[in-house]
A and B are shown apart, each in its own frame.
Chain A
Amino acid sequence: MTTTPTIEVRDFRMRFGDQVVIDDLSFEVHAGETFGLLGSNGSGKTTTIRALLGIYEPTAGSLLVEGRPFDPALGSRLGYLPEERGLYRKESVLEVMTYFGRLKGLSHEAASSWSKEYLRRVDLADHAKVRLDKLSGGEQQKVQLGVTIMNAPSILILDEPTKGFDPVNRRLLMDLVDEQRAQGSTVVMVTHQMDEVERLCDRILLLKDGRAEAYGTLAQVQDSFGGRRMRLTFSGVLPASPNYRVAVSERNYAELELADGVEATTVVRELLDAGVQLRGFETARVSLEEIFLKVYGEKAVAA
Chain B
Amino acid sequence: MNRHNLGTVISFEFRRTVLKPKFWLISLAVPLLIAVVVALIAISGQTTADRAQSQDQEAVTFTYTDASGLIDPATATAAGGTLVTDGATARAAVVAGTSECHIDYPSDPLSRPIQVSGQDLGLFDSERYAAVASSVFEESIVHQIGNPRLAQLAVQGPDVQLVTFADGVATPGIAGVIVPALFLVLFYLAVLMLGNQMLNVTLEEKENRVTEMILTTMNPTTLIVGKVIALVLIGIVQGIVVAIPAGFAFSLLSGVMGAPAAAGTATLGSLPIDPVRTIVGALLFLFSFLMFTGLLVAIGAVMPSAKEAGNTFGVVIIAMFVPLYAASLLVSDPHGVVSQVFTFFPLTAPVSALVRNATGGLYWWEAALALSVLAFFGWLFLTLGVRLFRTGSISYASRVNIARALGWGRRAS
- Against B, the Cβ 8 Å flags (1 = close, 0 = not) of A170-194 are 0000000000000000000000000
Q: Give the nearest-CB partner of B15 in chain A.
A: A95
Whether B217 pairs with A72 at a CB distance below 8 angstroms is yes
Whether B218 pairs with A56 at a CB distance below 8 angstroms is no
What's the tally of chain B residues with a CB closer than 8 Å to chain A?
Answer: 27
A84 to chain B: which residues have CB within 8 Å? 209, 212, 394, 396
CB distance from A110 to the nearest CB of B (A): 13
Q: Is A147 an interface residue (CB 8 A)?
A: yes
Give Cα A90–Cα B209 distance, bound, in whole angstroms.
Answer: 13
Given known A-B contacts A84-B394, A99-B8, A55 and B215 have beta carbons under 8 A apart: yes
Whether B208 pairs with A102 at a CB distance below 8 angstroms is no
Measured as residues with beta carbon below 8 angstroms from the partner, the interface class of chain A is 20 to 34
Whether B209 pairs with A86 at a CB distance below 8 angstroms is yes
Whether A103 pairs with B5 at a CB distance below 8 angstroms is yes
Q: Is B210 an interface residue (CB 8 A)?
A: yes
Residue from B209, B394, B396 within 8 A of A50 (CB atoms): B394
Residue from B4, B213, B219, B391 within 8 A of A85 (CB atoms): B213
Q: Give the nearest-CB partner of A105 in chain B.
A: B4
Whether B404 pairs with A102 at a CB distance below 8 angstroms is no
Residue from A16, A73, A89, A147 within 8 A of B409 (CB atoms): A16
Of A74-82, A218-226, A240-248, A260-268, which binds chain B?
Answer: A74-82
CB distance from B253 to the nearest CB of A (A): 40
Whether A89 pairs with B208 at a CB distance below 8 angstroms is yes
Q: Is B3 an interface residue (CB 8 A)?
A: no
B264 to chain A: which residues have CB within 8 Å? none
Whether A91 pairs with B16 at a CB distance below 8 angstroms is yes
Q: Give the nearest-CB partner of B219 in chain A.
A: A72
Whether A73 pairs with B394 at a CB distance below 8 angstroms is no
Whether B410 pairs with A59 at a CB distance below 8 angstroms is yes
CB distance from B13 to the nearest CB of A (A): 10
Whether A75 pairs with B216 at a CB distance below 8 angstroms is yes
Whether A88 pairs with B208 at a CB distance below 8 angstroms is yes
- Against B, the Cβ 8 Å flags (1 = close, 0 = not) of A94-113 are 01000110111100000000
CB distance from A274 to the nearest CB of B (A): 59
Give Cα A212–Cα B221 distance, bound, in whole angstroms.
Answer: 35
Q: Is A216 an interface residue (CB 8 A)?
A: no
Whether A82 pairs with B212 at a CB distance below 8 angstroms is yes
Give Cα A252–Cα B155 distance, bound, in whole angstroms.
Answer: 122
Q: Is A120 an interface residue (CB 8 A)?
A: no
Q: Is A69 an interface residue (CB 8 A)?
A: no
Whether B217 pairs with A55 at a CB distance below 8 angstroms is no
Give Cα A17–Cα B402 distance, bound, in whole angstroms.
Answer: 12
A87 to chain B: which residues have CB within 8 Å? 208, 210
Q: Is B97 an interface residue (CB 8 A)?
A: no
Give Cα A15–Cα B208 distance, bound, in whole angstroms.
Answer: 27
Whether A86 pairs with B410 at a CB distance below 8 angstroms is no
Give Cα A88–Cα B204 distance, bound, in whole angstroms.
Answer: 8
Instruction: Give the dominant DSSP class at B's interface.
Output: helix
Given known A-B contacts A55-B391, A55-B394, A95 and B16 have beta carbons under 8 A apart: yes
Whether A16 pairs with B216 at a CB distance below 8 angstroms is no
A56 to chain B: which residues have CB within 8 Å? 391
Q: Is B227 an interface residue (CB 8 A)?
A: no
Whether A86 pairs with B208 at a CB distance below 8 angstroms is yes
- Against A, the Cβ 8 Å flags (1 = close, 0 = not) of B190-217 are 0000000000000010001110111111
Q: Is A250 an interface residue (CB 8 A)?
A: no
B214 to chain A: which residues have CB within 8 Å? 103
B4 to chain A: which residues have CB within 8 Å? 102, 105
Q: Give the nearest-CB partner of B220 in chain A.
A: A72
A75 to chain B: which residues have CB within 8 Å? 216-218
CB distance from A235 to the nearest CB of B (A): 57
Q: Is A53 an interface residue (CB 8 A)?
A: yes
Whether A86 pairs with B210 at a CB distance below 8 angstroms is yes
B410 to chain A: which residues have CB within 8 Å? 15-17, 59
Q: Give the nearest-CB partner of B214 in chain A.
A: A103
Q: Which 5 A-B pairs have CB atoms at the shortest separation, nearest pair first?
A: A86-B209, A75-B217, A82-B212, A103-B217, A102-B8
A selection of 30 A-B contacts at a CB cut-off of 8 Å is A15-B410, A15-B413, A17-B413, A18-B413, A50-B212, A53-B212, A53-B216, A54-B216, A55-B212, A55-B391, A55-B394, A56-B391, A57-B391, A72-B5, A72-B215, A73-B2, A75-B216, A76-B217, A80-B213, A80-B216, A82-B212, A84-B394, A85-B212, A86-B209, A87-B208, A88-B204, A95-B12, A99-B8, A103-B214, A103-B217
Given contacts A50-B212, A70-B216, 12 further A-B contacts (CB under 8 A): A15-B410, A17-B404, A53-B215, A55-B215, A55-B394, A72-B2, A72-B219, A82-B209, A84-B212, A85-B209, A88-B204, A95-B12
